[in-house]
Amino acid sequence: MRRLPHLMLGLFALGTLVSCSKSEEKPPEIIRPVLSVVIEPRTTQTFGFAGSVEPQVSADLAFRLLGRVVSRDVNVGDIVSKGTTIAALDPTALELAVQAAKAELSNAEAQFANAAASEERQRQLLAAANTTQAVFDAAQQARKAAEAGVERAKASLAKSQEQLGYARLFSDFDGVVTATGAEVGQTVSPGQTVVTVARSDLREAVVDIPDQLIGDLTAGTPFQVILQSLPTIQTEAKLREIAPQAEGSTRTRRVRLTLTDPPQAFRLGSTVTATRVTKVAPTIELPMSALLEKDGVDKVWIVDPQTSSVSAKDIKVAAKGAATFTVAGGLEAGMRVVTAGVHSLSEGQKVKVPEGGV
């Protein structure tokens, strides 16, 4: 019976030791997966400018005469060939003018024939001393005047025939109709646009570029032009022309880029994006989610690849944007920076970087 209290005391002491040892055990450290990125300084910058495909060569076709349009054989989108009649004016008055010019020429030729015959008779009479020199000289002068009248009538006929040709409107090159400016039955004045024709083989991209980005652009600068409706379709282009003056309200300049062997999908009027890659000083840019602001100091978490732990690194921020910020100093290429959950990390905390580094 005396051994029972000693046994109970021993069991109590043993339980106390076991409980103390359990309380002194540390919980296992949690290794947290993080999103991160390896710093790669950016050495190039890509600029994109929206624009459209336009013809390099376009002509506003108009009649040279006042008249009423009696036919217009084309509409927008139609293909026209060189020399094919596109529109015509009422030729009645012009045809009558040609007939009148022909009649005047016939009359002038008859007068010339009569004057020439009279001169020949006076020459024979003068040789036989049956007329005076003054009469012969008058006959000779009349023949020369009649000859000049023939030349004047011929010129008048040629002018009338040429004006009759002006009643027909045609294109000087193969192309496509892009606009119309007059309808059948409408009276048009000389120079008024009736049809606009553009060459479809020579196309260019027309974009507006901010004035501050024009400085290093020169003729022949290469661009990449992407079709917005089908981004997989692209083509090369070279700068052909820069507007000499910026637009007043937008401060942009109109730039024309000649397309190099563009696919058929680059139709006139298509919306495109012209991109250009330029070299810049090495710049480190990170997402705003990577920035930790603490006690007025900008920091980022750096992942140590040897220990798989994080440590705070002081940095200098050059500029902040809506989604990114630019680092002015404190980081080097090859460092791995945590890009999410920066406010829930602690110095030296173990982390896990998923495969792929993100």
Kindly indicate the confidence band of residue 295, based on its pLDDT and cuts at 50, 70 and 90.
Answer: confident
pLDDT in the model for residue 1: 45
pLDDT, average across residues 311-322: 88
* Average pLDDT in the chain: 86
CB distance 338 to 290 below 8 Å:
yes
Length of the chain: 358
Kindly indicate the confidence band of residue 177, based on its pLDDT and cuts at 50, 70 and 90.
Answer: very high
- Does residue 7 register a pLDDT over 50? no
Which H/E stretch holds residue 50?
strand 42-55
Buried b (16+ CB within 10 A) or exposed e, 229-253: eeeebbbebebbeeeeebeeeeebb
pLDDT in the model for residue 43: 75
What whole-number percentage of the chain has pLDDT above 90? 44
DSSP alpha helix (H) spans, 128-271: 133-165
Question: Which long-range CB contacts under 8 A does 313-318 form with residues at least 24 apart?
Answer: 317/291
Instruction: Give 155 or 123, the one with higher predicted confidence.
Output: 155
Closest CA to 308 of 26, 33, 5: 33
Task: Check residue 261 and report its DSSP letter.
Answer: S
Instruction: Give 265 or 280, the one with higher predicted confidence.
Output: 265
Q: In this predicted structure, which of 25-34, 41-50, 191-200, 318-327 has the lowest mean pLDDT?
A: 25-34
Domains of the chain plus CATH, in order, are 32-43+282-352 (2.40.420.20), 47-55+200-280 (2.40.30.170), 67-89+168-198 (2.40.50.100), 92-165 (1.10.287)
